[in-house]
Structure 1
Amino acid sequence: MAEQLGGDTLSAEALGMRLRVLRQKRQMTLDALAAQTDLDKSYISRVERGKKSPSLATLMRLSGALGVSVSELFGGSVGSEDIQVVRAGERVTVTPTGSGAPYLEALGIKSDKLSTFVLHPQEESQAVGHGSVHTGEECVYVLKGEVEVSFEGRRERLSAQDCVHFPGIVPHKIRRVGSAEAVVLVIVVNGDH
């Protein structure tokens, strides 16, 4: 079933996903939301999975418990803090200690679940990687140049516009290939939140 909003149609799945994201953003469990709304936990779970379409009265109870408007629940508006713009000059750069060492630019996005960096490997022989593995997932997208991402027993050579996605628990290293500058975007989705 889909809800009609101002000419747009919102599916039960999309509404459920937005409800789940808003609940998790507030670090609220299903039990806590059920207690605040006097709704059954299993019913809220079915709404979040797109299996049930709530009434307007139920939507008002859910939005009230989450501290958002019904229109925000439908995606009609978002809080100004939900949209983050980080200008190039505002990035934090991790400066290398030795010449030819790689350096990172943190993109400055404030999120418990997402870390984003621009990595600049500087020397062909310099392997850049995480000192330890991490939970969650990682995606490496090559913006410029050529890099090699090595895993235990496997190496992937990537050129501009190539990317690789992998679980963070897999040990990995990134190095530049050749003498031309290489720049990669690293996106880490933390799995412990």
Structure 2
Amino acid sequence: METGEPVADAVALAVGERIRHWRTERGLLMRQLAETADIGQPFLSKIERGEASPSMLSLYRIATALDVTPGDLLPVVTPRPGATVVRAHEGRRIASTEESAIPVRFMAGMAHHSFELSEMEFDHTQNNDEWFDYPTPAATYLIAGRLDVDIEGDGRYRLGPRDTIFYPARARCRWEAAPGGPVRILHVTAHARHS
């Protein structure tokens, strides 16, 4: 969340380094990335220095502008042979937007995995009008509640418990929890293939 206070923890520093890496790899100036991602250049500068942590929305905007997935912007996880277990208390916890207090538990896949996961719970009082861009195919599985999903240029879909919606690459969508209880979702994003 953008707070103006220095964060400078190890994860924030690593995220800043990853964003700078991909920005440099793509040959973009900070100003160009900020414009394309529709975030302020001063905020992007703070993120790259590890002094601010991006929200899920900012992470998606930056990832889309860089043609990578949000997981590519998080610290690199060293692959281990065999299965990887992410326990209930693990995963990167971030806010969904800079103005929102909706916590998102983000579990990035490692380089050898082909997807990444995020989990969140919110209710109709926490809805916002922000559009998320998905640079790669994605899916949302509704664990509990009722959720309306708007996909730009495609329409609105109402999901109930155990429904799943699949998004094509480059889809823009937004979610709205219906009144009557919390919505709990699991969101899966395909990992970008880098050339």
**How high is the TM-score relative to the length of structure 1?**
0.50
Larger radius of gyration: 1
**How high is the TM-score relative to the length of structure 2?**
0.49
